Amino acid sequence: MNAPVYRIPPTIVHANEPMPLSSVPWTRKAEVMEPVWRAGITGKGCICINLDTGYRPHPSLPVPKAVRNFTGSDRSDVTDRHGHGNHTIGSNVGRNGLSAAPEADIKVGKVLGDSGGGSNTAAGLEWAAKEEGDVVSCSWGANTTQVDSRTQRALVLAEECGKWIFFAAGNEGYRGWNTVGSPASSPNCVAVASVTEAGAPSSFSSGGPRVDVAAGGSYILSCGLKGNLVMMSGTSMACPTFCSDAILLRQTMKMLGMSVYLTSRGLVQFFKSENFLKDAGPVGRDPRFGEGISVTSQNILNWIKARITEFA
């Protein structure tokens, strides 16, 4: 199968009112996050690789440690002119309360052009696989369940290189069958569906047997292109939200001397076995929530306390 043009799912931008810069998303309530951060679990020492529409400087974003453009001849030009990239990066590693991992670093691969599509995304995944880093955040896909061969090889390579790879499940809704698109349909990544603040499935969120986990994706506040904050909805938002939680887990495992070399399937089972996922819907795995909703930031502190007697 030849590689399709992968695109951003039809994300909803809520631009009806300005958001104060002091605002934080509902997924990062201070009473939940601050005890985790005070314990030193901030993502420090971890690197997230974001593959999207690029990056633009923002007061709440760190300067990337590395950049690569896969959409044009200038490899160093990763300027985000769309807005989707900055928003997902903010949920990945944003400062000022926007992400779970405010001290993690970021690397940026611009794999989607200014219109939100790209035909060289597999090259971006190959680059991410070989770069120093911990997690890879991808909020894009295609309306097919088949993964092209080059993308599939790149996902396997990323796993072999020790990366945890996260993909948005898609915004096709769930109509009783598998609507999870490619590459999220691959078993070599974690497919993330979206839920509302009330814990219900987001109406737009794709579903089916390939959904692994769910995270907050409705009305998510993050970085805009003008130094502002923008609210968006989509599995594009749920993916980096879950990825940010995973950065905290990755940091903790490193602190404990644990191996972080887990396949995507192994990682999902680890989240489940260590009670980092809240079961929702029918008991056990189901097509809307997968193995459960990410509550890593709420549960990780107890997990750490059970294994470390003294920490900052």
Is 244 known to be catalytic? no
Q: Which residue has the tokens 């996050």?
A: 33
* Selected catalytic residue, list 58, 80, 82, 84: 84
Q: How many CB atoms lie within 10 A of CB 196?
A: 16
Give the side-chain half-sphere CA count within 13 A for 1.
15
Name the token pair of 172: 């096709």
Please pick, among 60, 236, 264, 294, the residue that the annotation labels catalytic: 236
Q: For 133-185, give the DSSP string.
A: -SEEEE--BBS-SPPPHHHHHHHHHHHHTT-EEEEE--SS--SSS----BTTT
149-160 vs 121-130: helix axis angle to the nearest 10?
10
Structure tokens at 43: 């993502």
Count of alpha carbons within 13 Å of 74, Cβ hemisphere only?
Answer: 6
HSE, side-chain direction, 13 A CA sphere, residue 140: 30
Give the relative orientation of helices 84-93 and 235-255 as an angle to the nearest 10 degrees. Answer: 30
Residue 39 is classified by DSSP as: T
Q: How far apart are CA 265 and CA 188, in angstroms?
A: 7
Tell me whether residue 245 is one of the annotated catalytic residues. Answer: no
Burial class, 105, CB count within 10 angstroms (exposed 0-12 / middle 13-18 / buried 19+): buried
| Nearest 10 degrees: Cα torsion 231, 225, 151, 158 | -90
Q: Is residue 77 annotated as a catalytic residue, yes or no?
A: no
Return d(Cα 185, Cα 241) in angstroms, integer. 19
Which residues are known catalytic residues? 52, 84, 236
